[in-house]
Amino acid sequence: MEQQDLYQSAAELISEADALLIGAGAGMGVDSGLPDFRGNEGFWKAYPFLAKARIAFTEVANPHVLERDPALGWGFYGHRLALYRRTVPHEGFQILRQWAGKMPLGARIFTSNVDGQFQKAGFSESQIHECHGSLHYLQCMHGCGAGVWSADSFIPEVDEANCRLLNTMPVCPHCGELARPNVLMFEDLLWRPERSEAQQREEQAWINHLARAKAKVVVVELGAGSAIPTVRHFSSYISRECYVRVIRINLRESEVSHHHDVGIPEGALRALRGIDAALNGPSHDHAL
């Protein structure tokens, strides 16, 4: 199928929907200039020091690094936090906001990203479920019971050439021990999920409402691959709860399982622009 036909098919699914679920993986941020860490090669390109030391993504995105070498661990996470803070969300976020604002039964975001870009783009906190947590929040490294708190007061200074934090590391306000990002890492037994779980409860209440209303739901899945298939699994879950159609936008893995769904083999921004143009074309004057 030609790209324009794919855009048109996706536009029809959106125009017929009562509600929108946005499922976002790492590929959503690429058009904003964020790395997607696809495999060690992509990761090492963003962090040359770790490439030289042959430290894999799964090794540094790991609480054990913060225990053994906290300056290295916070060099990695501090650099990412500073990057996310200065990144401007691309135009595709605003296209999604426009679609979301016109859905009769509303919209939600389910994302495995920890970058806070949907909040930065203007989506409400109540619309977002960050299933792996957020780098914009902290927790105690040793699980003292302090809960989760904002990272706003922590301004990391990082030696990027050596991936090491230069300034004072954040500490737990309750016990004074080292703080860590409130994100789910690899081999992580101490992540505090209460913030994510509260988001999940709001999301589930919305899904239950959609199911009772027999709503038509369109899932727009962006940059969510099969290597860490959390977002794809959620698309399957909501399909069991509601009447769902899926638009899968993925540069490398756009295949869909059902003929009524649409797979678009492109990056997020280009595909969103194409669908939006189709939505606003002559044949969709009645829609959205």
Domain count, the chain: 1
Does residue 187 carry a pLDDT above 80?
yes
Name the percent of the chain lying above pLDDT 90.
85
Task: Give the domain range for residue 184.
Answer: 3-284
User: Which is higher by pLDDT, 228 or 87?
Assistant: 87
Does residue 288 carry a pLDDT above 60?
no
Q: Which residues contact 244 (CB under 8 A, 6 or more apart)?
A: 217, 218, 219, 235, 238
pLDDT of residue 285: 45
Q: What is the 3-state secondary structure (H, E, C) of 6-62?
A: HHHHHHHHHHHCCEEEEEECHHHHHHHCCCCCCHHHHHHHHCHHHHHCCCCHHHHCC
What is the per-residue pLDDT across 96-129, written as a single tens digit (0 to 9) for each?
999 999 999 999 999 999 999 999 999 999 999 9
Does residue 28 carry a pLDDT above 60?
yes
pLDDT of residue 282: 66
- Quickly tell me which residue has 């969300």 as its tokens: 89
Does residue 34 carry a pLDDT above 70?
yes
- Look over the chain and give the mean of its residue pLDDT values, rounded to a whole number: 94
Confidence band (pLDDT; 50, 70, 90) for 240?
A: confident
pLDDT of residue 284: 52
SS3 181: strand
- Residue in 201, 199, 207, 202 with CA at minimum distance from that of residue 18: 207
Alpha-carbon separation of residue 266 from 24, 59, 152, 242, 252 (angstroms): 14, 30, 35, 27, 8
Q: Residue 37 belongs to a domain with what CATH number?
A: 3.40.50.1220
Does residue 42 carry a pLDDT above 90?
no
pLDDT of residue 287: 43
pLDDT of residue 2: 87
Confidence band (pLDDT; 50, 70, 90) for 69?
A: very high
Compute the Cα dihedral for 38, 115, 231, 191 and give only its sign: positive
